[in-house]
Amino acid sequence: MLDVKRLQVLLAVVEEGSVTAAAQALGYTPSAISQQLLRLEREAGQPLLERFARGMRPTDAGLVLARHARKVVRQLAAAEADLAEIAGVRRGRVTLGTFPTVGSSFLPLAVRRFRELYPGIELTIESGREDHLVRHLEEGRVAMSLLWDYEWRRIENDELLLTELFTDPTVLLVGATHRLAKRRRVTMADLADEPWIIRAGGHPVVEVLERSALAAGFTPRIAFHANDYQEAQAMASVGLGIALAPRTATVNQHPDVRVLSLGDTAPPRRVLAARREGRVRAAAELALHDVLLDVAADYR
């Protein structure tokens, strides 16, 4: 049976007009091209090229074989393209759910990496609250979703498979003129007498404050209920109080706010990639999952 790679070499010589040009096109040395041609002629049992002082030209047998080689090479390229289509490497689509703090911090890094590696895959992203994201996972409207939980409030849903991406520390927000603003790290015990800015509507970060304050031996005094972290930063910047936030919520930092570490005196949250149990995973989804894991490894 004729060797396909040697057929490619013959075709390159015929189309490029010389061994030297074929070697440049294929990334081989001229010597390697000549050796492959000699072996192909032995396989074919007859001369395929006529050699002259200024080059070579195909024999009738060489022309016939080059014509078949052209078809073979094209069919192999088509087969590779079909396999790529099936695998979803060049084309496909995937929908990802996310929530605002991660959507404005970690996720853009992952999206950039994904588009660099898989420019042919259409990526759609939906942002929402946890109940919205979980419902869309269960309904199959998103392939995966980024979710989060705390140690005392783990996601318990038998229909979901969870992969931890990274730990998101709880940090302290203070105004630039606050007495602690020049410190890099404080503890909750340092904050017993401070007024607090909390998220409105029973947001889970309120429970983070309550648990952390209880462990430090005080009850927080609430000065303001904010609708989002940007509003909390704005009020902290003018000295109305201090606030807790996940680190991912501080990427877009107010210029008059300082972000301080609380170490292990305030619990972190887990950021997770979730998918529905039993879902048939397309290649585009698997590729996105791998990218999320890779970017998360550097993000920690």
Average pLDDT across the chain, whole number: 90
Q: What distance in Å separates the CA atoms of residue 96 and residue 109, rounded to the nearest whole number?
A: 14
Distance CA 183, CA 195 (A): 18
Amino acid at 297: A
**Phi and psi (nearest 5°) for 182?**
-90, 0
Reading the block at residue 24, the tokens are 């440049």
Whether 172 has a pLDDT exceeding 70, the answer reads yes
Q: How many degrees, rounded to 5, is the angle at CA 288 between CA 298 and CA 280?
A: 140
Q: 27 or 155: which carries more pLDDT confidence?
A: 155
Indicate if the pLDDT at residue 85 is higher than 60: no
Q: Which of 114-118, 170-174, 296-300 has the lowest mean pLDDT?
A: 296-300
From 247, 252, 250, select the one nearest 263 (Cα to Cα).
Answer: 247
The residue-averaged pLDDT of 107-117 equals 96
Token duo for residue 58: 């195909």
Number of residues assigned to the chain: 300
pLDDT in tens, 33-55: 888 888 888 888 888 888 776 66
